[in-house]
Structure 1
Amino acid sequence: MRKPFENEFPDGKYFSFYIEKVESQNVIEALTVQKDVVKKLYKNLSEEQKMYRYAVGKWTPQQILGHLTDTERIFGYRALAIARGEKQSLPSFDENEYMDASDFNEQPFESLLEQYRLVRESSIALFSSFSEEVASRIGIANGNAVSARALVWMIAGHERHHLNILKERYNIA
């Protein structure tokens, strides 16, 4: 699946920020590699590292894992709906409100990691089935015209963003 053209997502929003973070020219390959990176990264964390906050009010790595899974579910649903020709505007979500309503730090870590794996594998299977025509379909998500393809690339870029934060602010690599 090719990288989205600039007319497939809004200008000046977080869309381009995430899409530009994807280093690979093959988003399916990027998603597959990221799955292995995340699994290895999180499997090697101590209990203390999983619950570490670099500043007051910041999320723990365990919460970030839950956030990655939630976000992929939401962006994946948006990509599916748009790919299938949905005409209704798809709602936005506030990641901080979702985090406040979650209990990721109280959930068993292995369960969160398994949810991440299952969601990612399902996403890869779905997105691999998109033809170029299907991937290029445009819909409305979060009040913006966006292609299914752009949402797929955003998943990979969003995860790259958080992997960078884990490295830079949590000293986890």
Structure 2
Amino acid sequence: MRKPTPEEYSQSVYTSRYVNLVTGDDVLAELKRGLTNMQTLFSSFSEDQWNYRYAPGKWTLKELLAHMIDTERIMAYRALCIARGEKQALPGFDEETYAANGNYGKRSSAELLQEYRLVREANLLQFATFDETMLSQLGNANGKDISARAVLFVIAGHERHHLNIIQERYLSSMEK
């Protein structure tokens, strides 16, 4: 699979950032690596660390992982719709509203890690069935045109973005 061309997605700040964070063309391999890396990282956290905020008003690591799960589910749905030729505009979502209504803090870290793994594994199975025609399909999500291929790169880049935030803001200020 090749990296999406600029014509396959709107050049919005977020979409461009996420697509550009993915190195190489093999997004499925990147998603598999991401699964392993995130499971290893999150499994190393103590329960106190799972509930750590690097600043007031910022998400805990538990909330951050739940946000990543929610986002991947939404993006995978978008990729499926677009790959199947859906021409109706797909809605956006407000990550802060989802976080406020997700009851993430009441969930166990083990449950969140299992959900993350299962969502990713299911998505990898689905994405592997997309052929070039499906990947090249264009649809509209959040008011912007995007290909199914670009959505897959957004998923991988979104994960990379949050891994960078964890390393730069959480781990650097967390007492281990």
Q: TM bucket by the smaller chain?
A: over 0.9
Q: Distance in 2 between matches of 1:52 and 1:107?
A: 15
Q: Distance in 2 between matches of 1:123 and 1:12?
A: 24
Q: Tell me whether 1:161 sits opposite 2:161 in the alignment.
A: yes
Q: CA RMSD in A?
A: 1.2
Q: Tell me whether 1:104 sits opposite 2:109 in the alignment.
A: no
Structure 1 gaps of 5+ residues are: none
**Secondary structure of the equivalent of 1:165?**
helix
Cα offsets for 1:37-59 (capped at 9, x unmatched):
01110111011111110111100
- 5 Å matches for 1:1-150? 1-150=1-150
- Corresponding letter in the other structure for 1:85: G
Q: Distance in 2 between matches of 1:152 and 1:73?
A: 11
Q: Distance in 1 between matches of 2:124 and 2:33?
A: 11
- Corresponding letter in the other structure for 1:165: I
- Name the TM-score, length of structure 2 as normaliser: 0.95
Cα offsets for 1:83-138 (capped at 9, x unmatched):
00111100000101100011111111111111100100011111111111110100
Cα contact 2:47–2:109 (8 A) shared by 1: no
How far is the alpha carbon of 1:11 from its aligned partner?
1.5
- Corresponding letter in the other structure for 2:63: Q
Q: Distance in 1 between matches of 2:68 and 2:38?
A: 10
Q: Distance in 2 between matches of 1:132 and 1:64?
A: 33
Equivalent in the alignment of 2:170: 170
